[in-house]
Amino acid sequence: MKILLPTSTAGSLPKPSWLAEPEVLWSPWKLSGDALVDGKHDALKVSLHEQQQAGVDIVSDGEQTRQHFVTTFIEHLDGVDFENRKNVRIRNRYDASVPTVVGPVARKAPVFVEDAKFLRAQTDKPIKWALPGPMTMIDTLYDDHYKSREKLAWEFAKILNQEAKELEAAGVNIIQFDEPAFNVFFDEVNDWGIACLERAIEGLKCETAVHICYGYGIKANTDWKKTLGSEWRQYEEVFPKLQQSNIDIISLECHNSRVPIELLALIRGKKVMVGAIDVATDDIETPEEVANTLREALKYVDADKLYPSTNCGLAPLSRDVARAKLNALAQGAAIVRAELNA
């Protein structure tokens, strides 16, 4: 990356209202058949355009072709029965009706590779592509086949590696794995979660990232955050081992969160995507607020390793709010970039 402080988003962006109901997760598609295929492509173009208009440097598909960051990937796999549903507790936080693993899991065909080629053809900017991480995937399923969280995560890691290699060949520059589960299951993260992630990136030459956040601004998450006390030290449990891992970039929630910023010292040497935009409020950050978060992070992250970003995906927000937040991100990064170049 040539420019200093390249901006990006954590992943999802709001969808146009003609494609899916806005401000809702798991929103059903409003189109079907060929119209849906075209509609997803058009939405991807609009999302890319809005990122570029705002001055986002590392662009993405805005997850316009997926209903949900985990479910949509799993829907494309063999071995998971979406009709056969069980109630499980997601990330120890809320109950959900989830599909069942009924046999060996396998990727019957590429999932996002055609979408990535489509995005690549639209822009010369670096592209980041988000995939769910193995631990977060197993946490949204009922496993009636492997009967071992670790074994199932390992199988998903192999599948993710196949997909990641094809995304890399399609021209994706950064492949990101979303692992909000890393903020919850610390023992498993250290025992096998990070090892599974390293299996998922095996043999990749492009850059790799892991996104660990406190979730979308939905009620289950904001209620959970209220129980975490005045200092959120979850990152402290997993940073030492992540610092030793082969993952290039760590994407984190920083702005408005109670994460003590000095925890970033534990991942010194890694590139850090610093969340400088709160996704749990419609209040628009000022560029100066963004700049302040970045200046704080610069105490622990070298300038050439700092990537200003959002705390999490912006999908549940209105398009106006999301656009304004992206503008603030780019303007805040520009302030600090100018200071560093002075």
* Binding segment (CB under 5 A) for Zn ion, from list 169-177, 294-302, 311-319, 320-328: 311-319
**Member of 70, 200, 213, 290 binding Zn ion (CB under 5 A):** 213
Q: Which is nearer to Zn ion, 77 or 252 (CB)?
A: 252
Q: Does 274 bind Zn ion (CB under 5 A)?
A: no
- Rounded least distance, CB 279 to Zn ion, Å: 8
Contact 7, 53 (CB under 8 A): no
- Rounded least distance, CB 36 to Zn ion, Å: 26
- Rounded least distance, CB 215 to Zn ion, Å: 6
- Rounded least distance, CB 323 to Zn ion, Å: 19
**Member of 274, 312, 317, 330 binding Zn ion (CB under 5 A):** 312
* Binding segment (CB under 5 A) for Zn ion, from list 96-104, 109-117, 237-245, 309-317: 309-317
What is the per-residue binding string for Zn ion in 169-208, x denoting contact by CB under 5 A?
Answer: ----------------------------------------
Q: Which is nearer to Zn ion, 90 or 213 (CB)?
A: 213
- Rounded-to-integer distance, Cα 22 and Cα 316, Å: 7
- Rounded least distance, CB 135 to Zn ion, Å: 14
List residues near Zn ion by CB under 5 A: 213, 312
